[in-house]
Structure 1
């Protein structure tokens, strides 16, 4: 085994004052155990990223930072969204870490699995995906829609790990390469598999949220799913093209039928069918324009190159002293095997 790697656990937070004390306690306990077993370096830390919370989340992070040597923090100037907050933490942590684990603050992901992540990292894997094998704690609706989303993404040709969210371990070199993806429309679950590098999976049971309420209501889940689909696949646009050809073919058939009826002297009234067809075609056109507009909107966001997040405050002095220390696990994965 190589020298002990420096681990940073990145936790994006938005209005998590109810669950934060328990999260700090459990992650600190995990780090203490990993340090005692010499799986990570003693100067490993937890980095909480406050995504513009409106409650006392940041005040709690400051208090824990003063009392707990493991706790560090970033405060974003405004709510940038879960994916941007997570990326902010990952990019900050990679400057002084050999490996980084990302996990949500709600404790639905099993913190004990982080140990298995580190074991796999020592075996030479650069990316370790946490895969939910049991989602019985989720409601039927959430479980069904989430699994349907993963299947849909796979059918559209997107390389994504089934039942994986953002609970994963990444090595420093994978994060260095992730930073090269200058995308504004972030969907990390799709971006990370594009990196390549040796990877593996660890399975765990998903738990109920420890406290507070979900920050992903139906509206946000649908928006997130649509962003993922349109950011990684042009299949919806191709579907619109195919539908256009089909409607054109149907219109030709309808025209021939009308002409034939006229020549044969049949009484072609067709008022109802005409109105229905106009409404149907009009609806399809609006749908197609909206879909095309969505892709154009994404291009508009990309070309402006606005920053994904703005950091207002940092509480990372526990970790910044490590930046001058050579990273223990910065060598390629093949060298760690």
Structure 2
């Protein structure tokens, strides 16, 4: 289905990104300007920067950029809620004003030029378009190996996750409305979006170096993120613990029979090494099992409390009409609607 000049919103979650924000808005504003000139998106298209409780000048800079760029809008969250919650908050806020949304990180490592390809796939009828890395040659051996292992583990656990895709994607408002129906508190968008089941497309790009600043995902956060994703969408780890318990139990029975037979035959020899290894092994399995079960219990605890995923402290909205208003207007009027003036954003 061909879509005439959709309003495109670009959602950018930000955490301590003051060093790169100026570069980011220049790049994204240029992309939207080019798409508008081609007639691929509406002049009402916008950029929404979501401040996730930054401790630097990210929010004041967003407010200043809004005064200088007519396409810029902002959302300030009341505290740091994490990348996934901040991104979801931005998507749910921006979908009121847009026909489709692109989510992208502020560091400019995702090639903004493929946004055009995403829009073309959307206009062809795709409700979801994934940005997928074409290669990982720029990564270190450690990062490349762990990342590939992560995707293989996730797929091995039965999760419908797109290989080498992070959170660079386009989603239609229809897809976003369905995503809003997901009521869980433990959010892992890379695994949740494929569950929607709408028609999807893929665009490939080469990941670039970070434009400025430092990565907000050190090894510790990456491990935590991977664990969050696995335990949020799959119960297979619990079943693996159960299978391991049965396996250890079976081994203990065999070793018990062996000990009894050896004793009856007078060949029993006290083995300190084998005993201590067995104790450490069983103890390790027990601690691992308890920790994994605790992880799931913790998630149940969070789900039961139903606390909000984010709280909006302040919104600097884009100068566009709401989606509901556009649905009730005359189609001919929409086609001829002029671009919002620069002063309307202040």
Give the match for residue 68 of structure 1: 69
The 5 A counterparts of 1:171-210 are 171-210=172-211
The 5 A counterparts of 1:86-165 are 86-165=87-166
Tell me if the contact between 2:3 and 2:124 (Cα under 8 Å) persists in the aligned partners: no
Segments of 5+ residues of structure 1 without an aligned counterpart are 329-337
Question: RMSD in angstroms over aligned alpha carbons?
Answer: 1.6
Tell me if the contact between 2:99 and 2:323 (Cα under 8 Å) persists in the aligned partners: no
Specify the SS of the correspondent of 1:202: strand
Per the TM alignment, residue 154 of structure 1 is displaced from its structure 2 partner at its CA by 0.8
Tell me if the contact between 1:6 and 1:327 (Cα under 8 Å) persists in the aligned partners: no
What is the alpha-carbon distance in structure 1 between the residues aligned to residue 272 and residue 210 of structure 2? 56
What is the alpha-carbon distance in structure 2 between the residues aligned to residue 153 and residue 227 of structure 1? 11
Give the match for residue 292 of structure 1: 293
Specify the SS of the correspondent of 2:315: strand
The 5 A counterparts of 1:1-20 are 1-20=2-21
Specify the SS of the correspondent of 1:309: coil
Structure 2 residue 72 is matched with structure 1 residue 48: no
Specify the SS of the correspondent of 2:170: strand
Give CA deviations for 1:295-327 in whole Å, capped at 9, x if unaligned: 111111111110000110111152356652228
Specify the SS of the correspondent of 1:134: coil
Structure 2 residue 215 is matched with structure 1 residue 235: no
Tell me if the contact between 2:9 and 2:48 (Cα under 8 Å) persists in the aligned partners: yes
What is the alpha-carbon distance in structure 2 between the residues aligned to residue 19 and residue 284 of structure 1? 45
Segments of 5+ residues of structure 2 without an aligned counterpart are 330-346
Give the match for residue 169 of structure 2: 168
Per the TM alignment, residue 32 of structure 1 is displaced from its structure 2 partner at its CA by 0.5
The 5 A counterparts of 1:298-317 are 298-317=299-318
Give CA deviations for 1:69-127 in whole Å, capped at 9, x if unaligned: 10000000100000000000100111111000000000000101000001001101100
What is the alpha-carbon distance in structure 2 between the residues aligned to residue 322 and residue 182 of structure 1? 22
Per the TM alignment, residue 174 of structure 1 is displaced from its structure 2 partner at its CA by 0.3
Aligned residues: 329
Specify the SS of the correspondent of 1:60: helix
What is the alpha-carbon distance in structure 1 between the residues aligned to residue 217 and residue 3 of structure 2? 40
Tell me if the contact between 1:97 and 1:327 (Cα under 8 Å) persists in the aligned partners: no
Per the TM alignment, residue 261 of structure 1 is displaced from its structure 2 partner at its CA by 1.7
Tell me if the contact between 1:258 and 1:268 (Cα under 8 Å) persists in the aligned partners: no
Structure 2 residue 28 is matched with structure 1 residue 21: no
Per the TM alignment, residue 138 of structure 1 is displaced from its structure 2 partner at its CA by 2.5
Deviates more, 1:313-322 or 1:269-278: 313-322
Tell me if the contact between 1:5 and 1:327 (Cα under 8 Å) persists in the aligned partners: no
Give CA deviations for 1:29-61 in whole Å, capped at 9, x if unaligned: 001111111111101100000000011111110
1:262–1:140 distance in 2 versus 1, CA, 3 Å:
closer
Per the TM alignment, residue 140 of structure 1 is displaced from its structure 2 partner at its CA by 2.4
What is the alpha-carbon distance in structure 1 between the residues aligned to residue 236 and residue 324 of structure 2? 44
Deviates more, 1:55-64 or 1:247-256: 247-256
The 5 A counterparts of 1:245-284 are 245-284=246-285
Q: Structure 2 length as normaliser, TM-score?
A: 0.92
What is the alpha-carbon distance in structure 2 between the residues aligned to residue 327 and residue 218 of structure 1? 49
What is the alpha-carbon distance in structure 1 between the residues aligned to residue 274 and residue 264 of structure 2? 20
What is the alpha-carbon distance in structure 2 between the residues aligned to residue 119 and residue 196 of structure 1? 20
Per the TM alignment, residue 135 of structure 1 is displaced from its structure 2 partner at its CA by 2.4
